[in-house]
């Protein structure tokens, strides 16, 4: 299903266009479907530059992941809106560079796991199947009953269902909570969980950046770091954005073994929405410190074309892979928006 962005001509979507995309059919019904369609339409004025899906490791494709949101399947049951997701834990090998490969635990064949997205008040149902060879679980940050807290081991070859209400709105995460939790997270069992507010945020080019680390020799120290799975990927494949376009970054620090990292943006400042739990920014800065599992919404726009780096300001972490660039394009050269779903 399409995610956030589509046509770049500023025209509202017609019902015919929605039907072509399947949004008016099965799987999107009732109030939640209407919210989703309105959410999409409100963002149809956002221009997203064309981008190429360059070759990447099978378990991670950072250029796809950066704008990839999983809205699940929406159903109506007994008057409730149910948003259903399916997550399967497995194993994969990723190539951290030309010489180093690493065995990970993945979710739906990727690291980080899918970015799940819902609206506050939806009933969330997660079908979890464990095929990763060890006991695992899924613990969701947010508010829910104890029996849905995801700390009970799900053995290899077994499945379970987590069901709870999506609250409160904000940027959250999910991860395995089986001991040693640090190892289970560092091996790849984590992802972002976004709960949108009842009133959609203003249109923006929305992206996800998840900072992670890799301890390849099991000495409880990270050897490599990455945004969205692969070290240095966005340095070699800059994220293209348009000048003066509002950018909304959903940023998560899930780097284990390091107590905290910063996030720094070159040649600009950003508004900070801490944990995404407010519609009003708490501060404006160009560097913010984030502990493990901390996450924020960062908003900004670039005035000038060119390439601009982003990275933690701990240089050793940046130099070992957690480094990227935005390539800002002049709006005057913009073509019609190209959407990759």
Mean pLDDT of 205-233: 97
296 domain residue, yes or no: yes
- Say yes or no to pLDDT of 166 above 80: yes
pLDDT tens-digit series, residues 284-298: 999 999 999 999 999
CA distance 63 to 325: 12
- The answer to whether 141 is a known ligand-binding residue is yes
- The answer to whether 236 is a known ligand-binding residue is no
Percent of the chain with pLDDT over 70: 83
pLDDT tens-digit series, residues 140-152: 999 999 999 999 9
293 domain residue, yes or no: yes
The pLDDT, as a whole number, for residue 47 is: 86
- Say yes or no to pLDDT of 42 above 90: no
- The answer to whether 144 is a known ligand-binding residue is no
* CATH code assigned at 72: 2.60.40.420
The pLDDT, as a whole number, for residue 331 is: 74
The pLDDT, as a whole number, for residue 52 is: 74
- The answer to whether 175 is a known ligand-binding residue is yes
In 120-167, the DSSP E strands lie at 123-130, 139-140, 159-165
Mean pLDDT of 85-102: 96
The pLDDT, as a whole number, for residue 30 is: 44
Range of the domain at 234: 62-329
CA distance 113 to 133: 17
210 domain residue, yes or no: yes
Q: How many domains does the chain have?
A: 1
45 domain residue, yes or no: no
Mean pLDDT of 279-283: 97
The pLDDT, as a whole number, for residue 332 is: 55
265 domain residue, yes or no: yes
11 domain residue, yes or no: no
- Say yes or no to pLDDT of 202 above 80: yes
16 domain residue, yes or no: no
Average pLDDT, the chain: 87
Under DSSP, is residue 234 helix (H, G, I), strand (E, B) or coil? helix
In 131-169, the DSSP E strands lie at 139-140, 159-165
The pLDDT, as a whole number, for residue 57 is: 61
- Say yes or no to pLDDT of 34 above 60: no
Asked if residues 125 and 83 have their Cβ atoms less than 8 Å apart, the reply is yes
341 domain residue, yes or no: no
- The answer to whether 313 is a known ligand-binding residue is no
- Say yes or no to pLDDT of 87 above 60: yes
Q: Would strands 260-265 and 306-311 be described as parallel, antiparallel, or unpaired?
A: antiparallel
């Amino acid at each position: 299903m399409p995610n956030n962005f589509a046509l770049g001509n500023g025209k509202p979507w017609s019902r015919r266009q929605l039907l072509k995309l399947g949004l008016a059919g099965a799987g999107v019904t009732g109030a939640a479907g209407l919210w989703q369609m309105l959410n999409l339409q409100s963002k149809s004025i956002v221009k997203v530059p064309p981008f190429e899906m360059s070759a990447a490791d099978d378990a991670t494709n950072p250029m796809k992941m950066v704008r990839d949101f999983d809205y699940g399947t929406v159903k109506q049951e007994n008057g409730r809106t149910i948003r259903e997701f399916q997550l399967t834990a497995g194993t994969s090998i990723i190539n951290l560079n030309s010489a180093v490969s690493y065995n990970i635990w993945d979710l739906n064949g990727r690291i980080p796991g899918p970015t799940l997205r819902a609206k506050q008040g939806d009933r969330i149902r997660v079908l979890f199947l464990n095929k990763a060879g060890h006991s695992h679980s899924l613990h969701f940050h947010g508010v829910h009953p104890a029996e849905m807290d995801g700390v009970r081991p799900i053995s290899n070859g077994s499945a379970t269902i987590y069901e709870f209400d999506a609250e409160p709105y904000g940027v959250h995460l999910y991860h395995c909570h089986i001991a040693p939790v640090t190892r289970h997270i560092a091996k790849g069992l984590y992802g972002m969980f976004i709960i949108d507010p009842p009133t959609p945020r203003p249109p923006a080019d929305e992206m996800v950046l998840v900072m992670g680390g890799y301890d390849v020799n099991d000495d409880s120290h990270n050897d490599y770091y990455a945004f969205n799975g692969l070290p240095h990927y966005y340095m070699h494949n800059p994220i293209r954005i348009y000048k003066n376009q509002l950018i909304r970054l959903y940023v998560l620090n899930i780097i284990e073994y390091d107590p905290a990292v910063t996030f720094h943006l070159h040649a600009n400042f950003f508004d900070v929405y801490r944990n995404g739990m407010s519609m009003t920014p708490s501060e404006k800065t160009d560097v913010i410190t984030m502990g493990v599992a901390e996450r924020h919404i960062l908003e900004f726009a670039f005035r000038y074309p060119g390439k601009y780096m982003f990275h933690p300001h701990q240089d050793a972490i940046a130099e070992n892979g957690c480094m990227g660039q935005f390539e800002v394009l002049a709006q005057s050269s913009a073509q019609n928006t190209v959407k990759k779903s």
